[in-house]
Amino acid sequence: MANDAIADSVYDLIAGQDPDAAAILAAERERQATTLELIASENHVSPAVMHAAGTCFTNKYAEGYPGRRYYGGCVHHDEIELLAQQRACDLFKCQFANVQPHSGAQANAALFLALLEPGDTFASLVLADGGHLSHGLKVNLSGKWFNPVHYPLVRDESSPKFETIDYDEAERVCVEHKPKLIMCGYSAYPRVIDFARMRAIADKVGALLHADIAHIAGLVASGMHPSPFPHCHVVTTTTHKTLRGPRGGMFLTNDGELAKKYDRALFPGMQGGPLMHIVFAKAVAFGEALKPEFKAYQERVVANARALAEAMTKRSYRITSGGTDNHLMLVDLRARDAELTGADAEQWLERAGIITNKNGIPNDPRPPRVTSGLRLGTPALTTRGFGTKEMDEVAGLIDRALGSGGDDGVLAGVRADVRALCERFPLS
């Protein structure tokens, strides 16, 4: 059965029981089909992954781990979780995987519970420079229960390394504060991470090294970004974003003792029953990622990101750090219009059918709810079949919308062109 037919049958089933909910489902399906998804942390899963997440595996409690469940009737749940674990290890060339975390943030929270005591010091990137809330934000448990210290990006505008990780400063911060854990891997960093250099710093101060590869997992799995192994002791990731799986998290390591600590921290320490329908969908997604086509897809993601960055630069926008090595870029809007904020840009673009997120740029003078920048990513457009030629077209649509000053007529015109572009590249 074709995917549209499956989606229609699902809609009809829901509409027959709950027309109000079905109407919202139909509207969201239409929104995704007729808009350009440029949020770097989002993607379009395959029909197989989409429907795997809605299987009968949702009906079962499976607290515990394969062979050690607290409920009967888990034979097939053991099988699918072991399959997901093995495929994850094959993808990332490691020995241990925990596929139960509900999200990347929960994967990180369990890591803290496994490896740190309350009050312990850990080091991470300055959050406003591209870190994540689970890397030490004061309102997050990582910042409330533990003691984060931060290393920055290079601030010297005359340096060829401007707005890239300042590894010398990272070493200085870690030597001074002696963290028990050092975090690398970021949510808004467009350059390659030097895991070997970070491991040298960790060894110098006797710390464990953790990589959060939530954004670059698909690139790592396909060889488009250096692997955190063997340099990092522990790795966490989401399973969506570039990995193009269901929304969820995962833990990876080569250390059996750390794997045991993590397993205990996640269950029973952090979570109860795993979402086995999502574990099932993770297994399906990992199977897709092991195919040769996935590497070709990731190559196109990176090529499209570079093309989009160049097209935005051509239109007088500044790309932080001067470009991108991965799937995302940070756009400094002030170079194009000193008064334009990320908040306004996000809103105007959404009205034009272009979905983005406002994002602070390094050393941003504006607050996080306003910002001076946008974060753009190419995974979802690449999934739809867009190539480098279309990236210039997309940049032109973005520029028309942002140059409109929020004018309804201009944005409506861009919206019409976005719809036409989406029709050329329909969702599968």
pLDDT at position 3 is 67
pLDDT at position 2 is 54
Which residue in 8, 42, 63, 90 is the catalytic one? 63
Which residue in 11, 61, 65, 167 is the catalytic one? 61
Burial (CB count within 10 angstroms: exposed 0-12, middle 13-18, buried 19+), residue 233: buried
Q: Which CA distances in Å does 216 have to 222, 223, 353, 361?
A: 10, 10, 26, 19
Q: Percentages helix, strand, coil for the chain, rounded to the nearest 5?
A: 50, 15, 35
Q: Is 63 a catalytic residue?
A: yes
Which residue in 166, 212, 325, 399 is the catalytic one? 212
| pLDDT tens-place values along the chain, 428 residues long | 356 777 888 889 999 999 999 999 999 999 999 999 999 999 999 999 999 999 999 999 999 999 999 999 999 999 999 999 999 999 999 999 999 999 999 999 999 999 999 999 999 999 888 888 899 899 999 999 999 999 999 999 999 999 999 999 999 999 999 999 999 999 999 999 999 999 999 999 999 999 999 999 999 999 999 999 999 999 999 999 999 999 999 999 999 999 999 999 999 999 999 999 999 999 999 999 999 999 999 999 999 999 999 999 999 999 999 999 999 999 999 999 999 999 999 999 999 999 999 999 999 999 999 999 999 999 999 999 999 999 999 999 999 999 999 999 999 999 999 999 999 999 98
Q: Are strands 373-377 and 357-359 parallel, antiparallel or unpaired?
A: antiparallel
CA terminus-to-terminus distance, the chain: 13
Which residue in 87, 191, 241, 384 is the catalytic one? 241
Q: Is 313 a catalytic residue?
A: no
Q: What single DSSP character describes residue 93?
A: T
If we measure between CA atoms, which residue out of 409, 137, 152, 350 comes closest to residue 342? 350
Report pTM: 0.95
pLDDT at position 1 is 38
SS3 150: strand
Residues 328/40, Cβ–Cβ less than 8 Å? yes
Secondary structure of 272-321 in the HEC alphabet? CCCCHHHHHHHHHHHHHHCCHHHHHHHHHHHHHHHHHHHHHHHCCCEEHH
For residue 183, list its beta bridge partners.
Answer: 210
Which residue in 180, 191, 247, 261 is the catalytic one? 247
Q: Is 61 a catalytic residue?
A: yes
Q: Is 71 a catalytic residue?
A: no
Calculate the dihedral angle through the C-alpha atoms of 310, 312, 317, 320, rounding to the nearest 10 degrees: -50
SS3 259: helix
Residues 189/208, Cβ–Cβ less than 8 Å? no
Which residue in 35, 164, 237, 238 is the catalytic one? 238
Q: Are strands 208-212 and 181-184 parallel, antiparallel or unpaired?
A: parallel
* CA separation for the pair 114, 180 (Å, rounded): 12
Residue 156 CB neighbour total at 10 angstroms: 10
* CA separation for the pair 155, 211 (Å, rounded): 23
Domains of the chain and any CATH numbers: 56-289 (3.40.640.10), 300-422 (3.90.1150.10)
Residues 358/374, Cβ–Cβ less than 8 Å? yes
